[in-house]
């Protein structure tokens, strides 16, 4: 081959390497990983749940007495392998999930029911055991968190940030349900509610709470507009609290405070303005708070999230903000000098090392979306592939995920997954096995950036513990990948079919169909589900609640997939809510 032909061919080949990024796994394998990482949050449910890890256990519920006087505070997510809700990671993680869904909705499937009744019925807890229920799984997992955020934000001057005491909680290796039966000073609620942290004078957690609820009011509206309205109401409560303490950040039993609290208030203002359009929030987007930071993305340093939120909220500032995001974060994350020979980032601390691989990949994915570019896709694939087992040791760092790998974590530092209530000593802990029922855990352990150096030890929590914040960035980056390789199908709506002479069984019914989501009804109606290949009509159950315009419930109609009929009375107008 002559030199004149070889060089252009080489340049084309090198160019294509930059354009067409390639992952180490198939589209279905990434989809499986995202399903598992998503359902992990259901294994972190405190309260009545259901928590799917505990559904067949002797103690199925936990901490149902959480309260502040008469205010019920049951619910929310456990932090890590323990049983405390720490606001430092909880509100941040909820925001990360909300942002992931909003940014990459086509990455998220509807594969199961949010109460796991489909798994309980099939006895198959794999990706094949669930049934769709017309709501994307991530939204149902996130709603369990936002339900609690609503409880935690009753007004603009009251804010709850923590449930439980870390020192009490860490005394015994038992499940959350069993621990609930113990005295308060042993982490339980035998004598009543465990300790609640109220009004921590922290603007960071309240800012993340406001931002999360604001986004939830948008992404959940098509499923329940009344709930969306409640979210935005409480988002305003959280924002008002954050505004009062925007310069302050509080630590917790095992967590430090945010490194730069006022920046997060800009994130809250940005999300509130983008969702509501209220200029009062726009005026609070302080551009001076858009700045870089020495550390990488985690719960205590969220500068790149702030910059991204501000960029997307105010179009005239977008280019300037995204340039800052690139100069200060993306360029650093993707710089070859910060990537080791296994192609994983070396940035971030030594505790929970692989959260930083997921977090940087998610941050770069958000930037790529905003700029509509693909040149950093290979970096994103490399970080996620390393976590999934595309590394020298072929070791997966997600408990339960192993596609062509040598193994996944068998001894994660997490009490509920093992279902042990006998408080085993360290020798016994080393012998524990995960019950078959819980093997698809989806728990990202802290891990190590050198795959061959990872050691299985349930007591070495720096390596084998995970957390809701560890999974959050990984989830967002996986959603970016899945949205490209195997985008989720659109979920067809339940429709209302106006019919003056309704006959649900009439195959020749050709009246016009109207998408139904909180529509007003006048006359006689047939309500039915229009099926597709992915969502067969007869497998879809739904409930129709009929209200009059004063809000009085007139009727509740349940269906297992068949059409149902509602006949209005006289000329009254009714309001239908379909769930």
pLDDT in tens, 261-302: 999 999 999 999 999 999 999 999 999 999 998 889 999 999
pLDDT at 573 over 70: no
- Residue 129's pLDDT is 96
Q: pLDDT class for 558, splitting at 50, 70, 90?
A: confident
Please give the Cα distance from 419 to 430 (Å, whole number): 14
Instruction: Just list the catalytic residues.
Output: 82, 413
Query: Residue ranges of the alpha helices (H) in 53-200?
Result: 87-103, 117-122, 137-152, 166-169, 176-179
Provide mean pLDDT across the span 201-221. 97
Mean of all residue pLDDT scores within the chain: 88
Please give the Cα distance from 412 to 487 (Å, whole number): 31
pLDDT at 14 over 50: no
Query: How far, rounded to the nearest angstrom, does the alpha carbon of residue 357 sit from its chain's CA centroid?
Result: 17
> What is this structure's pTM?
0.86
The string of pLDDT tens digits covering residues 408-438 is 999 999 999 999 999 999 999 999 999 999 9
Provide mean pLDDT across the span 341-355. 95
- Residue 259's pLDDT is 86
Q: pLDDT class for 538, splitting at 50, 70, 90?
A: very low
pLDDT at 569 over 90: no
Please give the Cα distance from 527 to 119 (Å, whole number): 28
- Residue 96's pLDDT is 98
| Greatest mean pLDDT range, 16-30, 421-435, 522-536 | 421-435
Could you give the angle at which helices 353-371 and 318-325 cross, rounded to 10 degrees?
A: 150
Provide mean pLDDT across the span 47-56. 97
Backbone torsion region of residue 138, taken as left when φ is above 0, otherwise alpha when ψ lies between -120 and 50, otherwise beta: alpha
Q: pLDDT class for 195, splitting at 50, 70, 90?
A: very high
Please give the Cα distance from 157 to 244 (Å, whole number): 9
Please give the Cα distance from 389 to 25 (Å, whole number): 9
Give backbone dihedrals phi and psi of 249, rounded to 5 degrees, phi first: -140, 135
Q: In the chain, where are the structural domains located?
A: 24-485, 494-578
- Look at residues 253, 141, 249 and name the one whose alpha carbon lies nearest to residue 187: 253
E strand segments, 327-446: 398-399, 443-444
pLDDT at 502 over 80: no
Q: pLDDT class for 254, splitting at 50, 70, 90?
A: confident
Provide mean pLDDT across the span 139-149. 98
- Residue 256's pLDDT is 85
The string of pLDDT tens digits covering residues 305-314 is 999 999 999 9
- Residue 548's pLDDT is 60
Asked if 266 and 243 touch (Cβ cutoff 8 Å), the reply is: no
Question: Which CATH number applies to 24-485?
Answer: 1.50.10.10
Q: Are strands 524-529 and 542-548 parallel, antiparallel or unpaired?
A: unpaired
């Amino acid at each position: 081959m002559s030199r004149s032909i070889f060089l252009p061919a080489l340049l084309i080949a090198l160019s294509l390497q930059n354009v067409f990024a390639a992952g180490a796994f198939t589209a279905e394998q990434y989809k499986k990983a995202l399903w598992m990482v998503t359902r992990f949050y259901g294994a972190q449910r405190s309260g009545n749940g259901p928590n799917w890890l505990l559904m067949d256990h002797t103690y199925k519920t936990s901490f149902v007495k959480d309260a502040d006087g008469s205010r019920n505070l049951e619910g929310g997510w456990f932090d890590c392998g323990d049983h405390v809700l720490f606001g430092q990671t909880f509100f941040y993680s909820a925001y990360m999930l909300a942002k992931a869904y909003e940014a990459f909705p086509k990455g998220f499937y509807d594969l199961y029911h949010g109460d796991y009744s489909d798994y309980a019925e099939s006895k198959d807890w794999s990706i094949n055991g669930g049934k769709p229920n017309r709501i994307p799984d991530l939204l149902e997992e996130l709603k369990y968190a936002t339900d609690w955020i609503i409880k935690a934000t009753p007004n603009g001057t009251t804010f709850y940030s923590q449930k439980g005491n870390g020192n009490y909680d860490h005394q015994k290796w038992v499940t959350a349900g069993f621990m609930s039966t113990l005295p308060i000073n042993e982490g339980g609620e035998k004598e009543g509610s465990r300790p609640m942290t109220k009004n921590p004078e922290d603007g960071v957690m309240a800012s993340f709470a406001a931002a999360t609820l604001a986004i939830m009011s948008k992404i959940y509206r098509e499923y329940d507009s009344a709930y969306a309205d409640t979210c935005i109401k409480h988002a305003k409560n959280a924002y008002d609290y954050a505004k009062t303490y925007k310069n302050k950040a509080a630590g917790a039993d095992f967590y430090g405070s945010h490194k730069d609290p006022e920046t997060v208030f800009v994130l809250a203002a940005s999300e509130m303005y983008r969702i509501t359009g209220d200029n009062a929030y726009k005026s609070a987007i302080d551009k001076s708070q858009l700045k870089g930071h020495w550390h990488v993305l985690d719960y205590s340093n969220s500068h790149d999230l702030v910059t991204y939120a501000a960029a997307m909220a105010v179009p005239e500032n977008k280019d300037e903000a995204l340039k800052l995001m690139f100069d200060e974060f993306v360029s650093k994350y993707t710089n070859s000098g910060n990537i080791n020979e296994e192609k994983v980032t070396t940035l971030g601390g030594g505790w929970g090392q692989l959260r930083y691989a997921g977090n940087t990949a998610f941050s770069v994915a958000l930037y790529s979306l905003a700029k509509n570019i693909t040149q950093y896709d290979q970096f994103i694939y490399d970080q996620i592939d390393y976590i999934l087992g595309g590394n020298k040791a072929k070791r997966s760092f997600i408990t339960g995920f192993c596609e062509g790998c040598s193994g996944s974590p068998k001894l994660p530092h997490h009490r509920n997954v093992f279902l042990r209530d006998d408080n085993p000593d360290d020798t016994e802990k080393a012998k524990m096995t995960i019950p078959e029922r819980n093997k698809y855990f989806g728990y990202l352990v802290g891990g190590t950036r050198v795959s061959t150096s990872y050691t299985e030890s349930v007591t070495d929590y720096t390596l084998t513990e995970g957390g809701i914040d560890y999974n959050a960035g990984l989830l967002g980056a996986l959603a970016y990948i899945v949205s490209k390789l195997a985008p989720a199908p659109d979920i067809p709506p339940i429709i209302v079919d106006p019919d003056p002479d309704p006959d649900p069984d009439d195959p020749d019914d050709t009246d016009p169909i109207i998408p139904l989501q909180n529509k007003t009804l006048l006359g006689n109606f047939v309500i039915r589900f229009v099926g597709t290949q992915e969502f067969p009509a007869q497998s879809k159950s739904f409930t129709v609640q009929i209200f009059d315009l004063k809000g009085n419930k007139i009727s509740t109609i349940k269906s297992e997939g068949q059409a149902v009929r509602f006949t209005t009375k006289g000329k009254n107008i009714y309001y239908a809510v379909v769930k």
